[in-house]
Amino acid sequence: PTARERPARLPPQAVPGVFSAGLDITEMCGRSEERLAEFWRAVQELWILLYGSRLATVAAINGSSPAGGCLLALSCDYRIMADSRKYIIGLNETRLGIVAPFWFKDCLVNTVGHRAAERSLQLGILYSAQEALRIGLVDELVPEDKIQARAAEVMAEWLAVPDHARQLSKSSLRKHAVDHLLMHREADVQNFVCFVSRDAIQQSLQRYMEGLKQKKA
C-alpha cells in the first residue's frame, strides 16, 4: 500500500495524561544479558521502522512523553502537543543514570539542532509544552480536545504532496541516521547490555522503580 492509502498517526494514550511513558524499565531491571539484547533489538527495530517509514506520520501528543516516549514523537514527521501545563516531554535518560544511545542523539539533533540537543541530553531536561515549542521539539500546540482533529488536518496537508516526491525527500534527510544505526546495530546492542548490566545502573533503575511504586501507593 502507498502512504497515501495508509496514513499513520500515533494512537491516543492508553493511560490518561501519558502519551508514552517510554521504555519499559522492568525489561531492563534484573534481566539476563540475552533478554536485554532481545529487548534492545526490538527497540532498535521500532525506531528504524518509524523514523525511516515511507508513510507520513503525525504524533498527537496528548500526555507526557519522557525518554522513549519522546523518541517516538521525534521519529514522526510532525508533532502536535496538547497545550497543557500538566504535560512534559524530553529525553531525560541521564536523570536515571542512563546514557541515551547515539541514534537517540541523532534524532534529537536533526530536530532541535546541536546546541539545544547538548543541553537536553546532558541535563536530561523535561520540557513543558511551551518550552518544547520554543526549541522546536514540537511543531505546534493546540487545546487538548482539538488535538485529534488537528492531527487529521495536518495529515491531509502532508498527503496532498505527491507521494514519490515527499518520500524521496524524507529519505534523503533521514537515511544517514538510519544507516548509522544499521551499520553499528550489533555494537549498539552490546554497549547497551554491558552498560545496563552494571551494578550501579541496576541499583539506579531499582531505586527509580521503587519511587514509582511509592507514588502509586
Spatial CA neighbour of 159 closest among 1, 19, 34, 29: 1
Is 186 labeled as catalytic in the residue annotation?
no
Integer Cα distance of 209 and 203 in angstroms = 10
Catalytic residue among 36, 63, 69, 92: 92
Integer Cα distance of 102 and 141 in angstroms = 28
Is 27 labeled as catalytic in the residue annotation?
no
Integer Cα distance of 7 and 169 in angstroms = 17
Is 23 labeled as catalytic in the residue annotation?
yes
Grid cell digits, residue 165? 516526491
Catalytic residue among 62, 63, 71, 93: 93
Catalytic residue among 23, 50, 91, 108: 23
Annotated catalytic sites, by residue? 23, 68, 92-93
